[in-house]
Structure 1
Amino acid sequence: MTVQEKTIQRTDLATWAPHEVRQAIRDRRWTGTTHGAARGRLQANLVVLPQKYAFDFLRFCLRNPRPCPVIDVTDPGSAEPTVAAPGADLRTDLSSYRVYRNGELTDTVPDLLDLWTEDHVGFLLGCSLSFDEALDSAGIPMPHLRDTTSRVSTFRSNIPCVPAGPFSGPMVVTMRPVPTNMVVRAVEVTGRYPLAHGAPVHIGDAADIGITDLENPEFVTGDRLGEGQTSVFWGCGVTPQAVAMAARIPEMFTHHAGHMFVTDLALDGTPKP
């Protein structure tokens, strides 16, 4: 039975090659999240903007590499990420997209075929789902890699980003509850992967970075802090979405949270056969 013929289970995705995962998504045979897919490969956030805003957005990302590590940028009008996955198509190879107009979410769509024009530029930015498998392999539990009901909480912090053009605002962060005796190990592991947001931006009391209620994240509600665990916060690829929304950019397309683009690159960003 071929990959194209079989019924897909989430556990299958872990061992598939990136192009197999992308093809299943393009064919609409997989419409779920990409947690744990193509293990060992870098996953990416997607932001698509009109060309008018692309240079300022690139400057914003380069000035704020912790939440916005740049993996690839397409040519205007092209949907092919020639560095991250030659031959792939950013219009079809993510399982769910969001459409924002003037800073407001207006639609969630299965592809961008009818929306992408010659004026659009696509950005792929690193995603912490990539280093989750490295944490898991190091013995630090990452429940969302196996449990479809488990997520990673995502908050707006008070950590300021360096502005560029119309893009400015605070950093968005993810929080993972880490066993207290494994926090140092978590810092060591994630610090190896700057394209997946790298080491944490904060450890411990959420109030120190402006988060007053861990039970009510602004973006995604995930696993709660338990006994014997410490809150550990990493920069998040939702940051550019949040600042573009705040700037009320006329048009922006992004991935839907958890529905990432699976690249051909290794976790450290190097090409991998």
Structure 2
Amino acid sequence: MSHTAHIRSHRKPRSRTASTIAMRAGVAGGILSTVAVAGASAAANAAEPVTQTLELPTLTADLSAQVAQSAEATQLAAANYQLQAERDAAAAAAAKEAAKDLAAAKKAEARKKAAEEARLAAAERASRDSQRTTLAAAADTGSGSGSVSTSTSTSASTATGSAAAVIDFVRAQVGDAYVSGGTGPNSWDCSGLVQAAFRQVGIDLPRVSQDQSTAGTQVSLDNLQPGDILYWGGAGSAYHVAVYVGGGMFVGAQNPSTGVVEKPLSYDPPSGAVRVL
């Protein structure tokens, strides 16, 4: 054999002491024990049911707050309805009071108008009385052409033709009301009646008494004929007109108190007369 030949080592194998073996066995046993315990614990946990408990203290408090808010909102709505009802009642009362005030104002205006018409009628009567006094004085002093005679030469004459138609019309309106500005058919003022009467025979007279007093030929009050237009006041400034119907009588829309009447000339002596027929 060569002297270089491999010679097996004669080193002694390491001896494992009992303590080392025991420790390793202990470690292994501990690990296995831990694994066994963990597995058992997992199995036990898997076998037990899971129970959860939910507590709702916050939800209950929120619900109470919502209920309180709802009750408050209901009370507020009821208060608003009550306030609106009170406002509506107040508005209705105010409207009713306004209607009463309007009615009272209309009544007051009607009374004022009636008083004004009465005043105008009184002024008209006073003016006629003054004219009557003047004419009577003139008659007493024998002033001739300005005097009024109820026994004129034509007082007994009978109207014919157009004059008869005019007279028939005005007499048919006797009893109608006097209304300022009235032109018929059931209410008249003085010039409205005269204008309508002469329209029956195709004569178109001016609308107002001032113009009607100059519409024809001036005639003497001592020479009146049926159908002549009588006027009170001055020619061109007359404040009243009527129609002479013969027999010392005239028909005219006098005033709101009397309406349309037939009266003798002595009742209200005229100032003058014009003839258009």
User: When the two structures are superposed, what TM-score results if normalisation uses the length of structure 2?
Assistant: 0.21
Q: Tell me which protein shows more helix as a share of its residues.
A: 2
Q: Which has the larger radius of gyration?
A: 2
Q: Tell me which protein shows more strand as a share of its residues.
A: 1
Higher RCO by CA contacts (8 Å cutoff, separation 6 or greater) = 1
